[in-house]
Amino acid sequence: MTTDRRTLLALTASGLAMPGLLRAQEAWPDRPIRLIVPWPPGGSTDTVARILQPKLGEVLGKPVVIDNRGGASGSIGAIEAARVAPDGSTWMLAYDTQATNESVMKLPFRTTEAFTPVSLVATGPLALVAHASTPFRTYADVVEAARKAPDTLNYATSGVGGLAHVATTLLQQVGHYRITHVPYRGGGPATQDAVAGHVPLFMSNVVVISQHIKAGVLRPLGVTTRGESRHVPGVRSFAEQGVGDFEAPTWWALLGRAGTPAPIVARMHDAVLKVLADADVRRKLEEQGADVVGSSPAECGRFLGQEIDKWGKVIRDNDIRADS
């Protein structure tokens, strides 16, 4: 068969298939949208998702159903999202662990291959906080205590290999001290124990602890943004406290299954931007301690790749594994 004949047959076949494909894309969404949240209820990702949910359903004209699939630092939900049909009926609100999990554990996919980026929804500071009953008034107090008695001071995070864990590991590496990691199955359970004083230190995004900081139960000692954050006023960043150019903002991004038709991804992206432009949605996100972004798919993809590379090196350098 000649090249011209093969080309003609391919064009004919695509022409026959195109009307059905176009109709399916034009009809999207034709059913409720499933939004996988790879964390249990009560954590920051669940909180962000539930702020977006009503307006997103309104913009899309179909209900948005949140499916909490917590466990293994967000990897259980991500595995589920990576094997759904790429038809635009299921999406995932990813958390910063999406960029660290593939370096910490063995997963059946690579993030940049399994998912198509839609938008970086928001970023925010991580904050190291101490329970009000502890003697720690500054980050320097923690460093001093840890150097005097290595591995005796505990700190909680939402799970092994998450950005909170990896960022705190880097702080210890740079500061030459050691504290003991206590991982939890999500930000909700970790917050409960931190507020109860069962663990003296907690590294967390501000979304799940802002109300406890305001109430004076948790005392912020430093934030992971480059400079001070408006969400934790008066608290210096670690960079401002002598930790070089340290920066580790937390983030949330909407991802779709790789192979989802580009027109559907574009329509979802437009819907997300409309949601994030809504004054009420922005206010609620910002009140929780998040900074609204609303990036393009390309910008989201570049950001995700950079985070995977940056934190993958820290993970390998410090031999962080799922059983750490």
- Let me know if residue 145 belongs to a domain: yes
Same domain, 190 and 283: no
Same domain, 231 and 292: no
Let me know whether 202 and 272 are in one domain: no
Q: What is the pLDDT of residue 139?
A: 98
Residues 223 and 291 in one domain: no
Q: Are residues 166 and 178 in the same domain?
A: yes
β-bridge partners, 219: 130
**Domain assignment of residue 52, yes or no:** yes
**Residue that is last in its domain, among 241, 275, 304:** 241
Share of the chain above pLDDT 90, in %: 82
Residues 231 and 153 placed together within one structural domain of the fold: yes
The residues near 71 (Cβ < 8 Å, ≥ 6 apart) are 40, 77, 185
Q: What is the pLDDT of residues 146-173, one digit of tens each?
A: 999 999 999 999 888 899 999 999 999 9
Is 66 inside any structural domain? yes
Q: Is residue 63 situated within a structural domain? A: yes
Residues in contact with 158: Cβ distance below 8 Å, sequence separation at least 6, in sequence order: 39, 43, 73, 97, 164, 183, 184, 186, 187, 190, 204
Residue 324: inside a domain: no
Q: In what order do the strands lie in the sheet with 201-205?
A: 180-183, 154-157, 201-205, 126-131, 218-223
Residue 259, domain CATH: 3.40.190.150
Does the pTM exceed 0.75? Answer: yes
- Tokens found for residue 229: 């954050």
According to the model, what pLDDT value does residue 321 have? 87
Same domain, 109 and 253: yes
- Average pLDDT score over the chain: 91
User: 221 lies in a domain?
Assistant: yes
Q: What is the pLDDT of residue 15?
A: 45
Is residue 323 one of the residues assigned to a domain? no
Query: What 3 state SS string does the chain have?
Result: CCHHHHHHHHHHHHHHHHHHHHHHHHHCCCCCEEEEECCCCCCHHHHHHHHHHHHHHHHHCCCEEEEECCCHHHHHHHHHHHCCCCCCCEEEEEEHHHHCHHHHCCCCCCHHHHEEEEEEEEEECEEEEEECCCCCCCHHHHHHHHHHCCCCCEEEECCCCCHHHHHHHHHHHHHCCCCEEEECCCHHHHHHHHHHCCCCEEEEEHHHCHHHHHCCCEEEEEECCCCCCCCCCCCCECHHHCCCCCCCCEEEEEEEECCCCHHHHHHHHHHHHHHHHCHHHHHHHHHHCCEECCCCHHHHHHHHHHHHHHHHHHHHHCCCCCCC
Last residue within a domain, chosen from 195, 211, 241: 241
Residues 310 and 210 in one domain: no
Domain-terminating residue out of 241, 257, 282: 241
Q: What is the CATH number of the domain that holds 141?
A: 3.40.190.10
The verdict on 255 and 310 lying in the same domain is: yes
Neighbour count for residue 107 (Cβ, 10 Å): 16
* Domain ranges, residue 97: 3-124+249-317
Q: Does residue 58 sit in the same domain as residue 149?
A: no
250-297 pLDDT per residue, tens: 999 999 999 999 999 999 999 999 999 999 999 999 998 999 999 999
**In the chain, how many domains are there?**
2
Flag residues of the chain having pLDDT under 70: 1-25, 323-324
Residues 17 and 47 in one domain: yes
Structural domain includes residue 322: no
Domain co-membership, 32 together with 120 = yes
